[in-house]
Structure 1
Amino acid sequence: MDMADMLLAGMALFLGGILKGATGAGAPIIGVPILAMLFNVPTAVALFTIPNLLTNISQGWQFRAHLGRMGLATTLALWGALGTVVGSVLLAVAPATLLMAGVGAVVLSYIAFRLLRPEWQLGADAEKRLTAPAGLVAGVLQGAGGISAPVSITYLNALRLERPRFIATISIFFCAMSLVQIIALAGLGIMTVQLTLLGFVTLGPLLLGMPVGNWLAKRVSREAFDKVILVLLAGIAGKLLFDGLIA
């Protein structure tokens, strides 16, 4: 990897850190595709597991007072961890682009629905029924492609959580998946000692970007935050559809 590639990777990680600091999610959306172009998908996914775990531990601790009821976070995390094991096996044996493209189409449909009915949100009954399957599917995507946001962010956005609770909940979810993913990838021979060490190196640009994103997010309203999430989802969905269609 030459200097230009290193600068590209560093910039992508820094921008991912800004997005992570502002929304509590999104760093892999920028980082994983760039790293995949420089290496390959399994390597990119493995590289991101260490910074994913550590940054979410940091944000989860920072927003712990806003977690509220633990039921949502723990159910999402447990099922997400299970799905991550399944997705990690898929990562080792098969491409996940068609699956990602299908999820992208679902996310775009959700965005269109939200734009048509901006006040809509899932109720308490729906939360009880949908948290487990949402966590499972998000975990499979995390394990297979390193990106669970199409499902996890879509689901939590549909619950219309306030930004602090949103970040606290999704941080616990990401921590659980990252821990399981590190173990699974190591067992499958994808996560090597070298990639583990490089994972700590990638943490630097992310940590530099996160305070910038947090500073920006404190200066916007809930409505603006909700729009940022929808724009993020649109970008994710477009990327997934594009990758799936050209694969």
Structure 2
Amino acid sequence: MIDLPLWAWALLALGALIAGLGKTAVPGASTVSVVLLASVLPARTSTAAMLLLFIVGDVFALTAYRRHADWRTLLRLAPAVIAGLLVGAAFLALAADGLVRRTIATILLVMIAITLWRRWRSRTAAGGRLAAAGYGSLAGFTTMVANSGGPVMSMYFLATRTPVKVFLGTSAWFFAIINIVKVPFLAGIGLITPQLLLLDLVLAPGVVIGALIGIRIAKRMPQQLFDRLVIVLTIVGSVYLLF
């Protein structure tokens, strides 16, 4: 797995950089990292590799936004998220690599479609236990299978009209906790190996650099333009994985 061509290492490094940037500046950019790693590595391996890189990014997200979390929202989502995580872990343990790859692509495409639909409608009514159960279970499954729970949670927080700082702080704590919880699941099905740890050790500086850049430019970045770029790249990458 470590013996990769130069172009593959370049894509992995870019994915690590974008993962860090997505944690501190551009919510949703991490889907590009998921696509890049899944394009180079086996699908199941890419899920484990991406998880460990995201944990590095979580440290910086918590450093920047840790004081703004809404813990009542996190507790309300917890039961459904746990259920989704368990279903996702079972799927990863039983599914073939090709099916996992196609599932990653399908999940990303669906998330992009829903995100665009939400933006077009501009107003989305969601709230209460039913919404928490629906969004939470889907977020748990997608984050376990494809590390792509971000779009789901972004829709939930926006639909419930969560203030910006609370949005960022709650998201930071949510994914920091969920990512730590996922580690024993992936280790238990044999996806976290010494070779994988070595690979992530090589890529981790890219996450750190991306996160530090994100903290510096978060208030200056033309968000709308970057969001459109992320959407286009994710669609292209997802179609590549699908076919």
TM over 0.5, yes or no? yes
Alpha-carbon spacing, 1:109–1:7, altered in 2? closer, same or farther (3 Å): closer
Return the alpha-carbon distance in structure 2 between the equivalents of residues 99 and 194 of structure 1.
Answer: 23
Identity across aligned pairs (percent)?
A: 22
- Identify if the C-alpha distance between structure 1 residues 102 and 53 changes in structure 2 by more than 3 Å, giving closer, same or farther: closer
**Alignment check: 8 A CA contact 1:51 1:199 kept:** yes
Question: Structure 1: which 5+ residue stretches go unaligned?
Answer: none
Q: Does 1:20 align with 2:17?
A: no
Q: Can you list the C-alpha shifts for 1:119-167, whole angstroms capped at 9, x where unaligned?
A: x2446xx144312321211111111222222322222233343433222
Alpha-carbon distance in structure 1 between the residues aligned to 2:89 and 2:233: 20
Runs (4 or more) in structure 1 with deviation over 4 Å come to 227-230
Equivalent in the alignment of 1:34: 36
The CA RMSD measured in Å over matched residues stands at: 3.0
> 2:186 is matched with which residue?
185
How far apart are 1:109 and its partner, in Å? 4.4
TM-score under structure 1 length normalisation:
0.79
Q: CA deviation at 1:178?
A: 1.3
Q: Which whole-Å CA distance do the structure 1 matches of 2:66 and 2:232 have between them?
A: 29
Which residues in structure 2 correspond to 1:146-185 (within 5 Å)? 146-185=147-186
Shift of 1:232: 7.2
Distance 1:173 1:232 in 2: 26
Match in the other structure for 1:114: 119
Give deviations 1:32-83, integer Å, cap 9, x for gaps. Answer: 222222221111111122221232133124212222x311123335532442
Within 5 Å, which residues of 2 pair with 1:233-244? 234-235=231-232, 238=235, 242=239
Residue identity in the other structure for 2:51: T
1:16-39 alpha-carbon deviations (Å, 9 max, x no partner): 322322135532x12222222222
Give, in whole Å, the separation in 2 of the partners of 1:78 and 1:195: 30
Summarize the alignment of residues 64-213 of structure 1 with structure 2, pairs less than 5 Å apart.
64-67=66-69, 69-94=70-95, 95-96=99-100, 97-98=102-103, 101=106, 104-105=109-110, 107-115=112-120, 117-118=121-122, 120-122=123-125, 126-213=127-214
Q: Within 1, Cα distance between the matches of 2:116 and 2:226? A: 10
> C-alpha displacement at 1:103, in angstroms?
6.7
Q: Which amino acid aligns with 1:6?
A: W
* Length, aligned pairs only: 236
TM-score calculated relative to the size of structure 2 = 0.80
Q: CA deviation at 1:233?
A: 7.5
| In structure 2, C-alpha distance between the alignment counterparts of 1:153 and 1:232, rounded to whole Å | 18
1:156–1:166 Cα contact (<8 Å) kept? yes
Asked if the contact 1:24/1:59 (under 8 Å) is kept, the reply is no
CA distance in 2, matches of 1:213, 1:88: 31
Q: Deviations over 1:75-107 (max 9, x none)?
A: 335532442232122123222435852673465
